[in-house]
Amino acid sequence: MLSLIEKGKAEGILSWHPDRLARNAVDGGKIIHLIDKGIIKSLKFPTFWFEPTPQGLFMLQISFGQSKYYVDNLRENVTRGMRQKIRNGVWPLWAPLGYLNNPITRGIDVDKKKVTLIKKMFKLYSTGNYALKEMSEWCKKAGLKSNLDNDISPGQIQSTLQNIFYIGLMKYKGEVFEGKHKPLISKKLFDRVQEVLKERGKPQKIKHNFAFLGLMKCPCSAAITAEKKIKPSGREYIYYHCTKKKGPCLEKHFLREEMLIE
């Protein structure tokens, strides 16, 4: 809004109250500066009187100061309330994947539609046979989406697998608290997943032992590569295709390893 005023597209502001215009010293100072320069010629409020006079500017500054005090005090009260809630074993923020915020009890409930898939995701990754990218593809095929109904990225998979919330604990501001919500997995399974994450390190450095790499080339003369795909059932398949490192390739098909063996 202020950028439009500075460009000359308006010269006044209509607002319910000055605290709607500035909740910090920077915003308030900029409005007063634009009034001093004559760029803002008028401020109108149904609940507050203002004229561009020394007395008017003084009262406006007081109002801006009061609004900042209100915000600072509100932030402190909210922080204190959230800390008390976490001490009581209730998660005060948005529920993680597999859980839902209950607006009536203000607690955290298990998402019955996703709980089975969440458990399966932990079990699949604990085998050590899947990379984070492969788990992300599995989520797409299994129909597991985020709480905002978006596809789950490899980074989100990693943060989910590392979240102690799923074993009944909560980490908040560097501290660990015991939660009242229902755990989805056992601590034994969670610890196994952490071991696999540690062993694998960065997912882009993972190498698979594909049987037929280096034995053939694509008709376009580029090398052949392979990748593993996971079906919603948990079964895995290996596909071979062109790397396309020598430019556009007309071969758009993937060849399954079983067909290649035949």
- Mean pLDDT computed over every residue of the chain: 86
- Each residue of 171-199: pLDDT tens digit? 988 889 999 999 999 999 999 999 999 88
Pairing status of strand 99-101 against strand 108-110 = antiparallel
Structure tokens at 3: 């950028």
252: pLDDT strictly greater than 80: no
Burial label, 52 (beta-carbon count in 10 A; 0-12, 13-18, 19+): middle
Tokens 């319910």 belong to 16
pTM for this predicted structure? 0.55
Average pLDDT over residues 100-105: 90
Q: How far apart are CA 38 and CA 207, in angstroms?
A: 66
Residue 248: the pLDDT is 78
Contact 67, 23 (CB under 8 A): yes
- The rounded percent of the chain whose pLDDT value lies above 70 is 97
* More confident site: 230 or 197: 197
Query: Residues for the chain: how many in total?
Result: 262
pLDDT, residue 203, reads 47
Enumerate the domain spans of the chain. 2-87, 99-205, 207-262
pLDDT score recorded for residue 249: 82
pLDDT at 189: 95
- Here the tokens at position 254 are 């993937």
Count the neighbouring beta carbons within 10 Å of the beta carbon of residue 232: 14
% of the chain surpassing 90 pLDDT: 33
CA atoms within 13 A on the CB side of 221: 2
Distance between CA atoms of 33 and 41, rounded to whole angstroms?
A: 12
Give residue 45's pLDDT: 87
pLDDT in the model for residue 174:
85
Report d(CA 116, CA 173) in Å as an integer: 30
Read off the pLDDT of residues 6-47 as tens digits, 9 standing for 90 and up.
Answer: 888 998 889 888 877 887 778 888 888 888 888 888 888 887
Q: Is the pLDDT of residue 149 over 60?
A: yes
CATH code of 99-205, in short, is 3.90.1750.20
Burial call 64-90: b when 16+ CB within 10 Å, e when fewer: beebbeeeeeeeeeeeeebeebbeeeb
Average pLDDT over residues 80-98: 88
Q: For the chain, list the strands marked E by DSSP.
A: 12-14, 42-44, 99-101, 108-110, 169-172, 175-178, 224-230, 236-242, 255-256
Task: Give mean pLDDT, residues 99-114.
Answer: 91
